[in-house]
Structure 1
């Protein structure tokens, strides 16, 4: 084992001394690995097989075949046992293979057990820890076992990889050929034609501070002060997401605009009483009767989703950015209205304090707290429970913020997920 490690580490030290230095500090003994025999052999870590135990080469070839044909550059996330690297490097069209380490201790263990210098020595290979970049690179293949086994240091990139892998599955719901989508759009066609294009709101609040209010648990701590702030003559504009509307109104807080995009939203979430002075911004597919009952002005727009591709040809409307959650178009609306500063409330993307939302019972707005199996870092650097889709929503918000450096984004709680690109508002945020 020592000789194998010496040969592997000699290549690493020569080609990537910084990576080798970091790998030398990894504790390979912390990896609960066991040898698993089949027609061939593999390693299992905490019950998770790194590769097939029967035909590792065939598995690697299947993985390679899922990538775009003849791609000159490929990014591989995870190191595995070296099988996929060897298959990819057998292609004459491959000019560069960038390997991103997802679990340093695991790779250090493999370097002790198996010869890896063949692919490590290939001049087309570059090697780095995944966390050295803030964003994933395309085209990529992520080794499934290491999406589960990624260490904490590489968790943010792991989250982005998982989100990207799930995109096609998640988008199936928004197919324009889905009869349910066709029916939803048709039942709302008359309102779509008569309601005002959301573009009429764009540019109407240049330089104004805008509060975007979501429904995360941390909203609860701000409700009394939001009430007093809302009663001031000169105050920020209040935009809330649909599920925050009832909790706000119960506290006497009247938002200026409500944003809603989900067809599962009903009058239970958006009661129409006393809404004459509140604007509703929505995307089609929502229940027409609920929309019709709204007493205030209504504005309608689309997202870039293909579900709207056909109807937009006949009824053009402006776009709002949608990244899976209603908070994305709410923030995008504020930016397009001209905000110089967006302050976020209840934008937790997690379950701080063991709660899922403010103003609703556990499970009212989605899965219950007890099934949460994932985590993100909160504003203090601690792990806080979340669910998979919340992590995807967080990622899309961070990407959106990165594209809008001219707008200042502030967060008001350290209890929820840390949002890259935001600062904590010292006037609203507890230590």
Structure 2
């Protein structure tokens, strides 16, 4: 059998090409414009015919040899076999369009919610689109096509659109022959996807543990955040105080420099400072768990400014008469800022309170930020500075069978990934999480106008590369204040509850194509995703519709309890 087939007449090719462009134009007119001005006669592909009579695109190498992208026996069956290997992956990334037989097989699976196709060389893609009808693929609302994207574009696309709670897993499916002929581009694409998925997965893991608590805390803090706030002035030189073991030896230096610094304490460091006779100028707390209350059990001055993530436990706001709420990255916190009261946005993406405190100091306009107690490790196996909550916590729990030393040891060695590093005549343990925290802070230091200097300690050194501000004149002074409320707290909660209940059932079709929701509905759904992740962790067998029905009921119940008359 002659496996080489003609590509059709010029008129036929133009007709097929225009049909494909019409389908693509629904969601990517800019791509259609690029395709329209590209060439389709460079001979990048030949169309072969399989034994089943089905056209098979083949890459033409420089010697003129054809390399089919699919089986020349039965490409449809081959595509079905490939898709049958999927498990719970609902977000697929196809490297190479080819004849689309593997993609068509995926579209036949209802549990597959989103399909991203990535290919390179717009001229060769124009040839493909003029040789085969891809309309059934492009007409499916779950499909998106990228041609010649940069790695950064691919990474951002995954970060923006891949929501594990909606899609389940993600899988990259390379069309191997196609990938072999453009290894560098596809290798960079795979690396970009991996980087994005690592970030999404880390965030999702946190959401799965804390999503419901975030939802409840934010809603319960609305009334606490309703009061009038005075402007908080900017600052010039700040000391951010973390609670690593090195802080103990650094306290004399902090005492000596006290008058020249605005002392901003991480919540974990408050009891250490207070017991040393140092009253912080302000403190920061971002943990949504009630264990954060332990940091305040020794008391704080009633008028000391306390900067709280709106997702912090509501109890904390009663500990200070000078509470300042801010918005972090939670979608509900952003919704609150857009639709009720604008809250200052502080970067907490580093995942720890030290990072958040540095972000706040930078936001307030500090030109220099000195880090105390920021070990990001366990120097000589010690976890926290003496005076932190963990010492009295273990003190009251010790007994003759479990002395305090064994409790500290168990606390340290609960980590199964400790890595020992020599540091002069000393050493420290590091974990992947602590290393990630440090590296995120180092990366942030390169982006800030403020200079960040870590006071030498016993732990893993923080190494910001830049030693002077890149912004001419240094950082600019900012004030910290919430905007006026657009309505009462009770009215906002009622409006939000009604908007949540008005969401249509989140079916698989909607989950795969969120554009089916109106913009207001999409915004509401995004506020529920972290809580959905937490519920999915407890009920992995629930489908999307049942899961978000439960999240809506949970949200309704929380708000009803908050707004119920007290008597």
Bin the TM-score by the shorter chain.
Answer: 0.5 to 0.7
Match of 1:154 in 2: none
Match of 1:157 in 2: none
CA contact (8 A) 2:358 2:369 kept: yes
Q: CA deviation at 1:88?
A: 5.9
Q: Which runs of 5 or more residues in structure 2 are unaligned? A: 1-81, 95-115, 120-147, 153-170, 395-407, 468-567
Q: CA deviation at 1:293?
A: 2.9
Structure 2 counterpart of 1:70, from 118, 131, 155: 118
Q: For 1:137 and 1:318, locate their aligned partners in 2 and report how far apart those are by CA, in whole Å.
A: 36
CA contact (8 A) 2:242 2:373 kept: yes
> Is residue 239 of structure 1 aligned with residue 264 of structure 2?
yes
Q: For 1:357 and 1:338, locate their aligned partners in 2 and report how far apart those are by CA, in whole Å.
A: 29
Describe the SS at the equivalent of 2:360. helix
CA contact (8 A) 1:376 1:391 kept: no
Match of 1:347 in 2: 374
> Is residue 91 of structure 1 aligned with residue 178 of structure 2?
yes
CA contact (8 A) 1:88 1:94 kept: no
Deviations 1:185-232 (A, max 9, x none): 2322211111638xx336x22xx22110001111111123323433xx
> Is residue 186 of structure 1 aligned with residue 222 of structure 2?
no
> Is residue 394 of structure 1 aligned with residue 430 of structure 2?
no
Greater helix share, 1 or 2? Answer: 2
Structure 2 counterpart of 1:292, from 318, 325, 346: 318
Describe the SS at the equivalent of 1:321. coil
Rg (Cα) greater in structure: 2
Deviations 1:328-387 (A, max 9, x none): 221011112111111101111110121011124479799821133143867769973223
Equivalence map 1:121-140=2 (5 Å):
139-140=192-193
CA contact (8 A) 1:187 1:288 kept: yes
Structure 2 counterpart of 1:169, from 205, 209, 213: 205
Q: Which runs of 5 or more residues in structure 1 are unaligned? A: 1-54, 76-83, 99-123, 127-135, 143-159, 425-431
TM-score scaled to structure 2, two decimals?
0.45
Structure 1 counterpart of 2:248, from 202, 220, 224: 220
Q: CA deviation at 1:414?
A: 4.5
Structure having greater relative contact order (Cα 8 Å, sep ≥ 6): 2
CA contact (8 A) 1:394 1:419 kept: yes
**TM-align CA RMSD:** 4.2
CA contact (8 A) 2:383 2:412 kept: yes
> Is residue 280 of structure 1 aligned with residue 280 of structure 2?
no
